[in-house]
Structure 1
Amino acid sequence: MSRPNSHPKIHQRKISLTSACPPTSSKQDRKSHTQSSFSLQWCQRLWTYRLVRWAAYLYIIFSMLFSATQFLSLSTADTSLQNDVHLAHTPSENHDINATPPSLPPQMPSSQSSLPSKLNLLNTQLRLSKMFSKSIQQPDNVRPFWFTASEPPTPISITTILTLDDMEFLDTMATNWKGSISAVVQIETKDGLNSGHAVQALSRLRREYELRPSLAKYVDIHVVLLPEHATRIRLQGARNLARLFSRSRYVMHTPIKLLWLPSSASLLADTSLTERMDGGDALVVPTFAFPRRNNIQTNVFPMNREGMIEWVEEGRMGLLDYHWPLNAGPSSYSEWREATEPYLVTEYDYHYGPVYITTKENHPWCEERFDDQLPACVYTTFLNGADFYVLNDAFIIRSGQEPENELTEAERFIQDGVYKNYRIEQCAFYARQFDQHGLYDTERASHVKQECVKALRKEKIVKV
């Protein structure tokens, strides 16, 4: 018989994770729990006060009203932006590759000008700093509409650039033109922008403007203060400013030193001309001038077509295209003499820089890498697809003694080299633009094909 076990059996629970590592409650946890309970009790006790409850209710109501107001304002802004984008993307027959981006919709009629836009809140200097971020011109030195004409804008404006010494020419232009002029006056301060010299120059400008009735009536003055040590006015950037601040639908890029020009009302009397420009083309106003010789009397000249033809046949005047002898440029005097309607410029050359009229919008801007290169403005307009038509019954008159530009020989040599490269660069740029927009096989791209072949062949880049 077996001996009973002297030690009773004890049931042993199997080891588990919880039994091996039982959870423990630290003193810190107990302390936190105690603090939470105390905070809850304190909040409950605080809530029993009526003043606290009213303050909480008012805060909740104010937050809900503020959130609703912000939501409605954002919805209105989104609707305005969608309207602007819709206007900017309205399809057109021209498929303009230079169309204004969605953030800056095209100019709207007066009936829609009251639509809200965040851009209206931007001040002038901030706008200019963005638009001319890559420009040589410092936007802080630009003061648009220093003086504003008393007359409302006419359909076409002259855009021009001058200095204070050219105010007499501006007065002659305004007297003959009798229409809107957007003029950029460039002032060299020499000893700083905040100097007494600048104040004196602006005071002189005011006197000139107030003493000449034609200026106050027709001319918008935009002031550009050139920085210290500026040796020459920069016409290329100023041409863009004069066009940018013009208040008319059409602009005529015109030099300041003229002897005579027709009135604005007579220049575009034919509505078919405006239709041609609305379609993307440009109008050339032929320029006549005296031959370069001594003892030329420049205060007597004809002011009608018949008289001008007579003077040219006698050798007393000629059709002026800078870079060519009189009557030998692309404007073609022989065609002008026989023309009964505007005629197309068929012998275009990239040195061509006439007085021309276009719409203010939907055309390239002048390249500001040049100090003075009007043909560069015309060249990009031509590559963009514009045909140039010479007016047969209108002209302007210059002395013909003015130089093509005022660059030194060294500066002209550098600029000519840059312009040669610029010609090839713009050919490639516009060819790519037309290809991306599916317009390379259209009539509008014919100028690009024509010019690129000539440019590449001349530089021996390709054999054609």
Structure 2
Amino acid sequence: MTLCVIDLSYSAITTMPHGLKLSKMFPKSEYGALKGVTPFWQSASQPSDESDVSLLTNVSPESWKELVALAENYNGPISATLHISKQAHKDILNAIEQEYRSKPSLYQNVDIHLIETSGHNSISVLLPMNAERNIARVYARTNYVCDTPSSVILPTDLRRTIHTYTKQMQLGDMLVVPTFEIQQQVISANDIPRTKKEVLGLVNEGKLGLYDAQFKLNEGPTDLEKWKKAKDVYKVENYTIDYEPLVIQSKTVQPWCSERFVDKRSACLLSSYLAGNDFLVLPSDFAIYKPSARKHLVSDLDRVIEKRLYSKFYWEECVYHARELDSMGLWKTSKSNHIRQQCSRIIQNWGKGLIGKPE
């Protein structure tokens, strides 16, 4: 009789090729492109508190200096992707590595996940920006994350603020950090407001405006007039599917960014909203937005494709989350309010009986 000895230490995951693991984690990205991803190319030396909030950001060599400034300004955990062309000169990567190792704000707090792809444009359908966002999130070391453009300035202590609202985030709600765009070309540290009172003064002078991407300045769903008077968090009431604010959220309970889009932050938030989670606007914290130096041109054709894809995606998410809420017994509860408001026509078009008992 032959005895079969089983090696309990063996796992198929151990011997699985790196690219194959990542292609399962990020299925909309191209396998060859994912082979060029190196998680923790540079690892922060300082341990992170799991109850803290990690900034998630994505940079290229052109916007590297923005990450340097962000790390100095934030002084907390950051999970960043660095996307570079394989055709780029090795001296560029060496210079970045040297600067990383020379600055405590970087080597103590910032994890960098290197992405090397072919071609000179650091954004493409082969490895979309939305996939980069997911890569930064999956390797973040804290329970709470904030997808942050590298050019943003955070003047307030968000790390202290979140401890008041951890329960809401654990339930799926998202904390909106009102973001203001500076209406001047050259700024210094002295021009950056540090309090809500200073922000409102600059808004009144026309030097700052509430920035909600895809909306006119001061007219987005974050609601400037309500924020001016707010003493506590308030819910966003005029949500639209293009809304993509700066949010702090749970790393684990939120849906992931859909990677079918080259660069669409609103797709990262739509699923969560339709699942019944609220946008809660912080009353005293804020961020300052500057246009990024990162060169990631999305062609006119890609923009048309993205817009059409998003319309289809919206339909899919409406049907999917309606069925999910119904199967969980939540269709007749307040958890379904958002999807009823946003998707009633779509659900009706799919016919009676899709949700609940047939009429």
Q: TM-score, normalised by structure 2?
A: 0.86
The amino acid that maps onto 1:189 is K
1:245 to 116, 133, 139: 139
The residue number in structure 2 matching 1:227 is 118
The amino acid that maps onto 1:278 is Q
2:301 to 403, 410, 428: 410
351-360 vs 391-400, greater mean Cα deviation: 391-400
The residue number in structure 2 matching 1:6 is none
Q: CA offsets, 1:398-452, max 9 Å, x none?
A: 136889x842333222211221221112111111222233332232222222211
- Following superposition, the deviation at residue 141 of structure 1 comes to 1.0
Matched, 1:166 2:63: yes
The residue number in structure 1 matching 2:26 is 132
The residue number in structure 1 matching 2:171 is 279
Contact 2:61 2:84 in 1 (8 A): yes
Distance 1:213 1:231, change over 3 A: closer
Q: Percent identity between the aligned chains? A: 31
Q: Which has the higher contact order (CA 8 A, sep 6+)?
A: 2
1:145 to 40, 62, 87: 40
Matched, 1:289 2:184: no
User: Quick one: distance in 1 between partners of 2:292 and 2:86?
Assistant: 28
Matched, 1:395 2:290: no
User: Quick one: distance in 2 between partners of 1:353 and 1:218?
Assistant: 26
User: Quick one: distance in 2 between partners of 1:162 and 1:421?
Assistant: 29
The amino acid that maps onto 1:335 is K
User: Quick one: distance in 1 between partners of 2:121 and 2:180?
Assistant: 33
Q: Secondary structure in 2 aligned to 1:307?
A: helix
Provide the alpha-carbon RMSD of the alignment. 2.7
Bigger proportion of residues as strand: 2
Q: CA offsets, 1:313-351, max 9 Å, x none?
A: 222211110111221100001111101111111111101
Could you tell me which runs of 5 or more consecutive residues in structure 2 were left unpaired when the two chains were aligned. Answer: 352-359
User: Quick one: distance in 1 between partners of 2:262 and 2:25?
Assistant: 19
> Which one has a bigger Cα radius of gyration?
1
Contact 1:320 1:400 in 2 (8 A): no
Q: Secondary structure in 1 aligned to 2:108?
A: helix
The amino acid that maps onto 2:175 is L
The residue number in structure 1 matching 2:355 is none
How many equivalent pairs are there?
Answer: 341
Q: CA offsets, 1:85-112, max 9 Å, x none?
A: xxxxxxxxxxxxxxxxxxxxxxxxxxxx
The residue number in structure 2 matching 1:421 is 312
- Following superposition, the deviation at residue 120 of structure 1 comes to 7.0
Q: TM-score, normalised by structure 1?
A: 0.67
User: Quick one: distance in 2 between partners of 1:358 and 1:117?
Assistant: 36
Q: Secondary structure in 1 aligned to 2:247?
A: strand
Matched, 1:212 2:103: yes
Distance 1:439 1:256, change over 3 A: same
Could you tell me which runs of 5 or more consecutive residues in structure 1 were left unpaired when the two chains were aligned. Answer: 1-59, 78-115, 191-196
Distance 1:122 1:313, change over 3 A: farther
Bigger proportion of residues as helix: 1
The residue number in structure 1 matching 2:80 is 183
Distance 1:121 1:375, change over 3 A: same
Q: Secondary structure in 2 aligned to 1:337?
A: helix
2:149 to 255, 258, 275: 255
Contact 2:151 2:292 in 1 (8 A): no
User: Quick one: distance in 1 between partners of 2:240 and 2:107?
Assistant: 39
User: Quick one: distance in 2 between partners of 1:262 and 1:120?
Assistant: 42
User: Quick one: distance in 2 between partners of 1:301 and 1:276?
Assistant: 30
- Following superposition, the deviation at residue 198 of structure 1 comes to 6.0
